[in-house]
Structure 1
């Protein structure tokens, strides 16, 4: 059985007031009237946006069988005699508070991934590599925003032992809110680039904002060489107690990987880890895929896989559709399909 709260508990968590039927038991959160599956255990969260207002769909959803609503405006409750309403000041803030409560009751390990690129691929590959050892939950698609993260955290199962949550930001001030929801024990920084740069005055500021996700983490996994921006996570971290589990491609680090040979779509490497030295192959030659794969390998080693098993698992990962997907083109060319976009 999944996680559940009563509407009365939700009112207490969010500081809201109850109206109508207050005995509803909530197992599913929904924000999109077009895609939700009607259920008496679904809480519809009426978010207000630039183009849509969820409050406009309450009547339609009630007719479809939704009987629990989180709202931030007055509702004519007598018009919905079977429904329960939790009235709050801001439904997005309330959604995040509900998710934080779910996180507080989760007994497994929570890992958070952020970075300019590669978050979704790394998350999916971690799932592929560790699903036989752990009961792994990972964020759906690219649920990494102020809305997507709380929806992801709510979905963590009672029997899951490892949760991998993706977190993205587009402006300063957002990451503190995501960290309060995720509260990760393990952090992974993919890389630093110019994606979503428009609201940051420098790469240094963006890195500083992203690293706020890892405040209080027990350990942080990142590459410590090869950053094209020339900015080290070490200098940007504000937590002096942070345990950085760094890796490098050829340089000195806790985990060191060296390319031995490359060609015909494969790369042979030598690895050195606290558990020992090992040789392994990866089915990639491009820099982005190699970096993503080595992030995943380091994460698996940190999660207790022995080097041979971890490298074998990473060598067998399957492509994520439309994420750096290699396709055969005409006249011997190769196409890279990176058109994926399912952010929430």
Structure 2
């Protein structure tokens, strides 16, 4: 894509301000991306929680010269070229739709509740020997993701695979205009995003709008879909049960595989696929339908489909050997996903030095010379310190990279592994599947036991946006990352929050804040429970203490005077009824007298804490706290002639007392996907999933027991699985003895006997499973809220109890 700014002006029907005759070869919506440059057109998107116009000034300083905006920020009109439009998202979509109109090759549009990304990736695998394919990177299927995907089409592509995801009515028409699919695919239609639709028929009707101009629709035969498909569009259906479908399928499980018996017209043949779960089989049949529609012969279909593989849809952050952090993207290597992975690397880097281990890149649609020149530019703009290339082609273009070592294949890399000196760095591992980069990840990953807490960074971003949407545009946001990020991990969460430009982080003790500062977090950090002995360290590391007593204030002032500080930020805590920490009304005059005229410290904020913001039975008390906070904080501000940030609301307060937002709110447990309100819980996404594996399976007879104290006695032959997680990992012993359960292959397995220090045992008599299978301790089911209710405690305790010996794995979908 190379366009003049004048051409783009016409495409967008924009008004141009500025005389630039510049050329654009890159579109961006992310002000944080290091890939922004003088040839970038930045679309300043405006959402319910963010307005990108505020970042234009800093982007100009970084060299960006061209912007699509709804208004020109004050003082910048002569510093860049601006294309003024009514709506920047509409403009981005219009730009993408124009770009799509320039290409005439077949384009698949995929929609459905589940399976879109897997089907897309499998189709890429199955069709790539014969086509140069452009596809959505990862799951870029939204109103923003789709146009960004489509803009990447170039002249060398001859087949497109694009996902379209919707969550409410009237979204699909915009995506249809951008993708313009010639062939439609409907994957499984489940319950995802049901809340945005009146009923299933309305949901299907909305999804079918994607195929307004399609010549063919591929789907699992369904009476509702049949009735809604445009009669001018050819339908190509399959079914397990309806023999009137175009393709009739019988599935038969053998060992760990499935044999699909296919009847298609007069043809009858079998296909073997390496899966047995219903979702994978259904997705594989959808892919088969595409191959049949493209007239592939039986032999080719059989040969290719037997090699289908599990699709890893997530970028994972893992702890590596020798103080390294790994970004695991070891199953794909294409240009668009490389750009995404490099942005993710920047958002999660823990160490200054950054290394990229990269395989040959396929299906770029570019010549190798042009491709590796562009890759080199990406590597340079992202300030990568070292490149390790693996593959014949990237080795040929080694000269395009600074500090680059290359190897012909992965085996050659391992022969030289000990000489590569991986230490104190962040490493992105990104390779095409056949290079088997998962072996590189395994070699570099820190070795821990097989229980892991998976943290979904997309879910954290979603939950943050959900609570931001409840705030006034001027209200600041502090996010609590105390107690090791509520058990989820401190630095990684803090880094993501810094990426999202929250205003403050909150920790309980100085040690937590110091660790974040040492790791490179630059956001202001408030220490809520500082001990006087930690004051020197707080000053040294530029943390900001909460001051809640005259004793603590005087101690800090003495140190501030001794160190000749000027207006060092402190935060004054008022006790409005919690009676835990804080200045009470009777202390206020002495507090004012102590602070008045003092130049060593500056009151950055005044805060209090609500005791019953989550309990409707105590609304009167909550209102009395707010009223008292207003009275006391106003007196402080008037007497000291200051205008600090004021804040009293926690997570539940944000939802239940919006009138008391003041200048800032403090988001805690809600960020991690937990609400005490059942209706609100529907809109939050699960963040943490605690997983383990089955270590061993044994059979016991009636009368035999399991575990310490023989607290479980079998009354019939029973299958028992042992899971390597116990109370030393943070699982309450009260959760054993038949009360609790884990989930194995989507089925409940009751915990039997006492939970041990490092193990627990479950009844799997009715579950088909084997040693090594994955086990969910908590996540979607059981949820931490469910466990907390059964144990008569709160979700905070469940989350924060998980031991740090349990490895945290952070990922982004």
TM-score (norm 1): 0.90
d(CA) in 1 for partners of 2:693, 2:33: 35
Change (3 A) 1:152 1:213: same
Indicate whether 1:181 and 2:178 are aligned.
yes
Cα drift, residue 129 of structure 1: 0.8
Q: Which residue of 1 aligns with 2:274?
A: 283
Alignment-derived partner of residue 100 in structure 1? 97
Count of matched residue positions in the alignment of Structure 1 and Structure 2: 331
What residue in structure 2 maps to residue 141 of structure 1?
138
- Which shows bigger deviation, 191-200 or 296-305? 296-305
Output one character per residue of 1:195-220: Cα deviation in whole Å (capped at 9) or x when no partner.
00111111111011001111121000
> Counterparts of 1:201 and 1:71 in 2: how far apart (Å)?
35
| 1:247, distance to aligned residue in structure 2 (A) | 1.2
Q: Is the 8 A contact 1:270 1:277 kept in 2?
A: yes
SS, match of residue 232 in structure 1: helix
Which residue is equivalent to 2:247? 255
User: Closer, same or farther in 2 for the Cα pair 1:34/1:304, shift >3 Å?
Assistant: farther
* Structure 1 pair 76–232 and aligned structure 2 pair: CA distance change class (3 A): same
| 1:264 corresponding residue in structure 2 | 255
- 1:286–1:78 CA distance, 2 compared to 1 (3 A): closer
Indicate how the Cα distance of structure 1 residues 106 and 342 shifts in structure 2: closer, same or farther if over 3 A, else same. Answer: farther
| Pairs within 5 Å for 1:119-158 | 119-158=116-155
- TM-superposed CA distance for 1:180, in Å, is 1.1
CA distance in 1, matches of 2:148, 2:264: 36
Q: Which residue of 2 aligns with 1:228?
A: none
SS in 1 for 2:310: coil
Q: Where does residue 400 of structure 2 map in the other structure?
A: none
Deviations 1:71-114 (A, max 9, x none): 11123475653x32111010000001000001100131111000
Map residues 99-248 of structure 1 onto 2, 5 A cutoff.
99-224=96-221, 231-237=223-229, 239-248=230-239
Q: Structure 1's 336 and 199: CA in aligned 2 closer, same or farther, altered over 3 A?
A: farther
Could you say which residue in structure 1 is the equivalent of 2:388? Answer: none
Q: Is the 8 A contact 1:275 1:306 kept in 2?
A: no
Matched, 1:75 2:73: yes
Deviation at 1:307, TM superposition (A): 2.3
Alpha-carbon distance in structure 2 between the residues aligned to 1:342 and 1:301: 34
Counterparts of 1:184 and 1:275 in 2: how far apart (Å)?
Answer: 30
> What is the root-mean-square deviation of aligned Cα atoms in Å?
2.4
Q: Give the structure-2-normalised TM-score.
A: 0.39
Asked which structure has the greater CA Rg, the reply is 2
- Which whole-Å CA distance do the structure 1 matches of 2:109 and 2:812 have between them? 18
Counterpart residue number, 1:300: 291
Distance of 2:307 and 2:147 partners within structure 1: 31
Secondary structure of 1:244's counterpart equals strand
Distance in 1 between the 2:23 and 2:811 partners?
33
Distance in 2 (alpha carbons) for counterparts of 1:255 and 1:220 = 14
Q: Deviations over 1:99-138 (max 9, x none)?
A: 0001100131111000010011111111111111101111
Larger % of helix: which?
A: 2
The aligned residue for residue 626 of structure 2 is none
Quote the Cα distance in structure 2 between the aligned partners of 1:248 and 1:295.
10
CA gap of 1:167–1:342, structure 2 versus 1, over 3 A, is: farther
Question: Residues 36 and 303 (structure 1 numbering): CA distance in 2 closer, same or farther, change over 3 Å?
Answer: farther
Kindly state the Cα deviation for residue 327 of structure 1 after the two structures are TM-superposed.
Answer: 9.3
C-alpha contact 2:216 2:236 (8 A) present in aligned 1: yes
Higher relative contact order (CA 8 A, sep 6+): 1
